[in-house]
């Protein structure tokens, strides 16, 4: 899948430019994720991409110990999370820094920075989250 | 009552199962044997099969089976959408739809999986779902997808992790007593299970199903025709397939209340409403458990227990035949009987209602087949050896 392809292209281009951009229906204000071309709530096709801060909370998590294919560039174990982004209803998949292997807590406040994940020959922009100090 | 209720039946079953990587035949050859077995089981000429249904992106397009089977005419060839095992029970509903509507009269429901032909199932399932959001997060396997949901169920909804162990133990108990199971003759070593290596927290190795090579096939015909065949009919009483708003392929943005479920709330609702049956009417459950926590979530979704009383219901003693009140995975389930994309759970559902199970449930009349949990599209079916 090409990064610049599909309804979520502005998300990937935003990360490449250093910003978290997320889609919201211009007509009724519903956040649309996965990104879509039509708001299922009101039928509008006017989608606005809005910048959000890279702050949020942990919705859920897993720590992976098994070497699955496509994760070769990640040191084991690594923590993947679902993060609820502040000030919008969207949850994002991402990774969490895990220096001390402390189990993440659901609801814990986190902040993100933009990094990347090497998969085969590509570097995919990735939000790397850390627990707030 | 739904038109599905008791109008079609499974008349024959066939299954060939091998350790992963050891199938003596390529995938299509194994599948052909399973279909022939199912027809022989029913005393039915395989050339008269005129329809085929599969699920989970099976690679064996039915038209390619015609030469080996001697098929006279192919009238129905279809597949339930979805890359995981969510469509397994829905496949029976699709076969019944073909028969009831007169578009076919003898339909084989099948699934075949041989690693040398189709590669690893886990990789195939993920190829169906993978996108850059998942790859960037290092989420590349069904175990991880289900692990994230499981942690939410355990931590946020207060389900005790110990419950999953009860389910795993019940599967292995039954498997150890089933000569057709990979775990036959081996008691589960509890220490080994509890200390098995982490895969993706909260799952250790023993929380995960492991793949086998093989194929399973079911011959479905009208209830009337089934009564004239060799084996006692196992009637399809109801089937539901799908997803409700707030559940699906949503990049983890499912409705918050649905998120830790296995996706079966609307399925169970429809299944019970369509059949007039309730969880209390179910004598035995065959539960597709890809991962332990999803098996627990499936039992909750199907109304056998709640977040609050789950620990009282999902107990080893309660789950085992012949004495438990909720006998589950009496063949050993995906964990211990074997895993050909769940087809063994459906085989056991039929065997149990024919009295052919290695772990018979006394006087079992109604069985639930709970399909692959946690998939974007899921399905379940109720079978009976009577039409109540
Ligand atoms: Zn809208």
Per residue in B292-309, pLDDT tens?
A: 999 999 999 999 999 999
- Put simply, the answer to whether A61 touches B148 (Cβ < 8 Å) is yes
A82 touches chain B (CB under 8 A): yes
CB B200 within 8 A of CB A66: yes
CB B11 within 8 A of CB B220: yes
| CATH fold for domain B8-120+208-384 | Peroxisomal Thiolase; Chain A, domain 1 (3.40.47)
| Tens-digit pLDDT profile for residues B123-141 | 887 778 889 999 999 999 9
- Put simply, the answer to whether A92 touches B133 (Cβ < 8 Å) is yes
Q: Which residues of B touch A114 (CB under 8 A)?
A: none
| Tens-digit pLDDT profile for residues A50-93 | 999 999 999 999 999 999 999 999 999 999 999 999 999 899 99
| Tens-digit pLDDT profile for residues B48-65 | 999 999 999 999 999 999
A93 touches chain B (CB under 8 A): yes
Pairs from A76-79 (Cβ < 8 Å, separation ≥ 24)? A77/A101, A77/B198, A78/B138, A79/A104
- Put simply, the answer to whether B200 touches A81 (Cβ < 8 Å) is no
Rounded CA-CA distance B43/B230 in Å is 6
CATH class of A54-133: mainly beta
Q: What is the mean pLDDT of residues B14-24?
A: 94
Rounded CA-CA distance B306/B303 in Å is 7
B379: nearest Cα among B242, B278, B246: B242
- Put simply, the answer to whether B198 touches A95 (Cβ < 8 Å) is no
| Minimal C-alpha gap between A34 and chain B (Å) | 6
| Tens-digit pLDDT profile for residues B166-188 | 999 999 999 999 999 999 999 99
pLDDT at A4: 62
Nearest residue of B to residue A31, measured between CA atoms: B253
| Tens-digit pLDDT profile for residues B305-327 | 999 999 999 999 999 999 999 99
Q: Which residues of B touch A98 (CB under 8 A)?
A: none
Question: 3-class secondary structure for chain B?
Answer: CCCCCCCEEEEEEEEEEEECCCCCCCHHHHHHHHHHHHHHHHCCCHHHCCEEEEECCCCCCHHHHHHHHCCCCCCEEEEECCCCHHHHHHHHHHHHHHHHCCCCCCEEEEEEECHHHHCCHHHHHHHHHCCHHHHHHCCCCHHHHHHHHHHHHHHCCCCCCHHHHHHHHHHHHHHHCCCCCCCCCCCCCHHHHHCCCEEECCEEHHHECCCEEEEEEEEEEEHHHHCCCCCCCEEEEEEEEECCCCCCCCCCCCCCCCCCCCCCHHHHHHHHHHHCCCHHHCCEEEECCCEHHHHHHHHHHCCCCCCCCHHHHCCHHHHCCCCCCCCECCCCHHHHHCCCCCHHHHHHHHHHHHCCCCCCCCCCCEEEEECCCCCCCEEEEEEECCCC
Task: Give me the residue spans of the domains in chain A.
Answer: 1-52, 54-133
CB A69 within 8 A of CB A17: no
- Put simply, the answer to whether B136 touches A69 (Cβ < 8 Å) is no
Rounded CA-CA distance A5/B186 in Å is 52
Rounded CA-CA distance A61/A105 in Å is 9
- Put simply, the answer to whether A78 touches B138 (Cβ < 8 Å) is yes
A49 touches chain B (CB under 8 A): no
């Amino acid at each position: 899948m090409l990064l610049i392809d599909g309804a979520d292209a502005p998300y990937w281009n935003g990360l490449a430019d250093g910003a978290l951009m997320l889609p919201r229906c211009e007509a009724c204000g519903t956040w649309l994720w996965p990104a879509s071309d039509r708001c299922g709530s009101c039928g509008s096709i006017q989608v606005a991409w809005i910048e959000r801060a890279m702050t949020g909370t942990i919705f859920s998590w897993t720590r992976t110990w098994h070497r699955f294919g496509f994760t070769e560039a990640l040191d084991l174990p690594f923590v993947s999370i679902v993060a609820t982004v502040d000030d919008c209803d969207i949850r994002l998949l991402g990774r969490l820094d895990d220096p001390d292997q402390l189990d993440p807590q659901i609801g814990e406040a986190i902040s993100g920075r933009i990094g990347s994940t090497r998969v085969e020959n590509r570097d995919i922009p990735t939000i790397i989250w850390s627990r707030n100090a | 009552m739904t038109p599905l209720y008791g109008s079609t039946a499974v008349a024959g079953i066939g299954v060939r199962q091998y350790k992963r990587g050891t199938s003596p035949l390529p995938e299509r050859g194994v599948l052909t044997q399973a279909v022939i077995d199912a027809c022989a089981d029913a005393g039915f000429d395989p050339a008269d099969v005129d329809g085929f249904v599969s699920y989970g992106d099976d690679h064996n397009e039915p038209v390619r089976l015609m030469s080996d089977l001697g098929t006279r005419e192919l009238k129905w060839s279809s597949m339930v959408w979805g890359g995981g095992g969510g469509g397994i029970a829905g496949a029976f509903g699709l076969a019944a739809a073909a028969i009831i509507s007169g578009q076919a009269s003898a339909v084989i429901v099948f699934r075949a999986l041989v690693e040398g032909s189709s590669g690893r199932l886990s990789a195939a399932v993920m190829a169906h779902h993978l996108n850059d959001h998942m790859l960037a997060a290092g989420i590349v396997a069904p175990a991880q997808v289900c692990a994230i949901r499981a942690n939410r169920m355990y931590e946020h909804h207060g389900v005790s992790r110990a419950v999953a162990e009860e389910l795993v133990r019940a599967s292995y108990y039954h498997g150890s007593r089933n000569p057709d199971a990979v775990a036959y003759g081996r008691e589960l070593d509890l220490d080994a299970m509890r200390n098995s290596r982490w895969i993706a927290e909260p799952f250790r190795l023993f929380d995960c199903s492991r793949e086998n090579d093989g194929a399973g096939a079911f011959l479905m015909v009208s209830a009337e025709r089934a009564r004239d065949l060799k084996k006692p009919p196992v009637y399809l009483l109801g089937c539901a397939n799908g997803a409700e708003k707030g559940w699906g392929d949503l990049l983890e943005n499912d409705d918050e209340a649905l998120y830790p479920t296995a996706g079966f709330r609307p399925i169970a609702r429809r299944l019970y409403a369509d059949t007039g049956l309730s969880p209390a009417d179910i004598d035995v459950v065959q539960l597709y458990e890809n991962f332990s926590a999803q098996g627990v979530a499936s039992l909750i979704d199907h109304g056998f227990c709640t977040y609050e009383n789950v620990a009282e219901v999902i107990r080893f003693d309660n789950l085992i035949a012949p004495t438990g009140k909720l006998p589950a995975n009496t063949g050993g389930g995906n964990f211990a009987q074997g895993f050909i994309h769940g087809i063994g759970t459906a085989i056991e559902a039929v065997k149990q209602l024919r009295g052919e199970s290695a772990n018979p449930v006394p006087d079992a009349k109604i069985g639930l087949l709970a399909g692959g949990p946690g998939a974007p599209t899921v399905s379940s079916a109720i079978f009976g050896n009577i039409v109540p």
